[in-house]
Amino acid sequence: MSSFSPEAAQWFGLLAPEHQQRVLQDVTVTHYGNGALIARKGETADHWIGVMDGLIRISVGNADGKVASLTGIPVGGWLGEGSILKKECRKYDVVALRDSYVAKLPSRTFEWLLDHSIPFNRYLLDMLNERVGQFIGRAEHDRLLNADARVARCLAELFNPLLYPGLKRRLAITQEEMGYLARVSRQRANQALKKLEVEKLLRVEYGAVCILDLEGLRRYGADATG
């Protein structure tokens, strides 16, 4: 997918034709290989970033080389609006977890849409509200849930229809990638996926996971949090 895909940008269909034309004129799509750095912490946030194909992660690290994944972004997800709105440098690294095609909308175009498109503003408000809820939930899950429940909730997050409308019920993801996103080892991610499969919440396929009970994954481990 070497060109911009409106199907991977839910907000694009909300725009007036003249606004769509401006986006198509300014957006670029770049291929990144597995492990490639898409955006670096501390750089100027001069683009809004969207996933056309593949899977990327947001992470932070320290001088000792320790890295913590904050979240994964599958097809249809967009990120970086907070740094653009606050006119600050990025506070995280953006890395390709697999071969990915990434769209970049210049910050000047993003701000132009804010000035000219009410539907875009409404979409962005809903997205920001959803993202805040997601990160609050993740902070709770990391402190209160075991590894099985963290894997379940992490998978459920990736199927959020507002944040990641490009996904249906099947996600191409390896056990190693799942471990990165849920902050557990590959072996522990494998154990969790097998357990969730036995409980008929998902089906593990070669290099992919098929969701059978999304609500079950969202609620998994609820008893542990009281």
CA distances from 1 to 20, 52, 77, 152 (A): 19, 7, 15, 30
Residue 14 included in any domain = yes
State whether 91 and 28 are in the same domain. Answer: yes
Question: pTM of the prediction?
Answer: 0.82
State whether 18 and 123 are in the same domain. Answer: yes
State whether 124 and 24 are in the same domain. Answer: yes
Q: How far apart, in whole angstroms, are the C-alpha atoms of residue 90 and residue 84?
A: 9
CATH number at residue 10: 2.60.120.10
**What does the pLDDT look like over 117-139, one tens digit per residue?**
999 999 999 999 888 877 766 66
pLDDT of residue 62: 66
State whether 149 and 93 are in the same domain. Answer: no
Residue-number span of the structural domain to which 195 is assigned: 145-219
Tokens, residue 37? 């750095």
Helices 175-182 and 147-157 meet at what angle, rounded to 10? 100
CATH number at residue 179: 1.10.10.10
CA gyration radius for the chain?
A: 18
State whether 103 and 41 are in the same domain. Answer: yes
Query: Which of 80, 105, 130 lies at the terminal end of a domain, its last residue?
Result: 130
State whether 98 and 48 are in the same domain. Answer: yes
**What does the pLDDT look like over 18-42, one tens digit per residue?**
999 999 999 999 999 999 999 999 9
* pLDDT reading at 110 higher than 70: yes
pLDDT band at 72 (very low <50, low <70, confident <90, very high): confident
State whether 123 and 154 are in the same domain. Answer: no
Residue 138 included in any domain = no
Query: Which of 98, 130, 162 lies at the terminal end of a domain, its last residue?
Result: 130
- 197 membership: H or E segment, kind and range: helix 186-198
Query: Which of 105, 130, 155 lies at the terminal end of a domain, its last residue?
Result: 130
pLDDT band at 67 (very low <50, low <70, confident <90, very high): low
pLDDT of residue 225: 45
Q: Which residue has the tokens 């190693």?
A: 176
* Pick from 24-38, 109-123, 206-220: least confident: 206-220
**What does the pLDDT look like over 74-105, one tens digit per residue?**
999 999 999 999 999 999 999 999 999 999 99
Q: What percent of the chain lies above the pLDDT cut of 70?
A: 90
Q: Which residue has the higher pLDDT, 116 or 224?
A: 116
- Could you give the number of structural domains in the chain? 2
Q: How far apart, in whole angstroms, are the C-alpha atoms of residue 177 and residue 187?
A: 11
Q: Under a CB-based contact definition with an 8 Å cutoff, are residues 220 and 201 in contact? A: yes
Q: Which residue has the higher pLDDT, 161 or 198?
A: 198
